[in-house]
Amino acid sequence: MMGAVRRPTEKVRTGAVAMTRSEATARSNVNVALVKYWGKRDPELNLPATGSISITLDGLSIDARVAFAATDEDRFEIDEAPAAGEERTRLARFVDLLRQESGRREPVSVVTRSHVPRGVGLASSAAAFAALAVAGSQAAGLHLDPPALSALARRGSGSAARSIFGGFVEWHRGERADGADSIAEPLLDATAWSDVRVVVAVTTTAPKSVSSRDGMARAAASPLYPAWVAGAEADLAEARAAIRARDLEALGQLAEHSALKMHAIGLAARPPLLYWRGATVDCIHRVWALRADGVPAWITIDAGPQVKALCTANDAPRVAEALGAVPGVVRVITCAPGIGAEVVA
């Protein structure tokens, strides 16, 4: 697609460099996949094995400031502490990509501030790299359209491709080897189905023992994985239809089914992959009990122990109260559909 970000060794054909702009700050919300992304066809370019559909969540965000020529050497800071380990490596790679695409060579300062727990299964990396794509391209003088921003964000974290947009979003698997067609696009903006809520039950704030990246690699060897890939297109088509019809029951049933399939893949892997905690299972049963009592709510769980319940705005207080009463739940957050990534300074 025109404007898409290409491999670092290739010359960008769209987007002019404006050297006068050297600093920008952007904010992006997390997203939760309703039809899950799990597995890659190209790990280097973060190209997914299947497409996915998500909802961007209001109130769980990350701010990112990128400044060229602000320091004598590259500087990476996360929540007022120097970035270290794998987090620093990923930020450095992303900065190198910005340099390659823009032609700029100055040292870069990257500062992020989190308004969501990091590394616990709440898609913080999606919000971080979407914000970095918007701020970094702006600071570097790259004039990228939304599809190109989505492709750039994807290079930092696959699901970040979706957080460029608000509301309901589809990320396409794509077919091209260079990833130019593996981009996200909005299906329904945040105001078009404003009655939807996602109630998040945080069962722990401890970091995950297995990252999403490593978990995907392990799950790809699961005997259940081929069936997951084979069923993806049918799930995507069903989700699109439910979103177009504003059919929460159909979408909720599919989201729950997709999440349970994803985690079943990990359970069947060798060694097994289990992100859940006891409180995770108890939250699932609590939502199912609510549904049996006539409260329409459905669960979804990403690569982590946190449970998200899809419901209406009217039912959200009752769902939040029920999940908050589960032993082991440390926090409950209710989110409306959120907007996409944007420049804030």
Residue pair 228/265 in contact (Cβ under 8 Å)? The answer is yes
Residue 41 neighbours by CB under 8 Å, 6+ apart = 47, 48, 49, 173
Q: How many CB atoms lie within 10 A of CB 81?
A: 7
Q: In what order do the strands lie in the sheet with 331-335?
A: 298-300, 307-312, 196-202, 331-335
Give pLDDT, residue 70: 78
Predicted local distance difference test score (pLDDT) of residue 117: 77
Give helix 124-140 / helix 146-156 axis angle, nearest 10°.
120
pLDDT given at position 332: 96
Tell me 238's DSSP state.
Answer: H
Amino acid in the structure at residue 103: G
Mean pLDDT per 10-residue interval, the chain, length 345 residues:
33 38 91 96 96 96 94 93 94 96 94 84 89 97 95 97 98 96 97 97 91 90 96 98 98 98 96 96 98 98 95 98 98 96 95
pLDDT, one tens digit per residue, over 8-45 is: 333 333 344 444 448 999 999 999 999 999 999 999 99
**Cα 246 vs. chain centroid, distance in angstroms?**
22
Q: What is the pTM of this model?
A: 0.91
**What pLDDT is recorded for position 198?**
98
Judge contact between 130 and 144, C-beta under 8 A: no
pLDDT at 121: 72
The pLDDT of residue 123 is: 77
Q: What pLDDT is recorded for position 19?
A: 43
> Shortest CA distance to 163 belongs to which of 191, 123, 120, 203?
123
Please name the helix (run of DSSP H) or strand (run of DSSP E) that holds residue 170, with its range, or none.
strand 168-171
Return the pLDDT at 73.
93
Q: pLDDT tens digits for 158-181?
A: 999 999 999 999 999 999 999 999
Residue listed under structure tokens 């010359």: 11
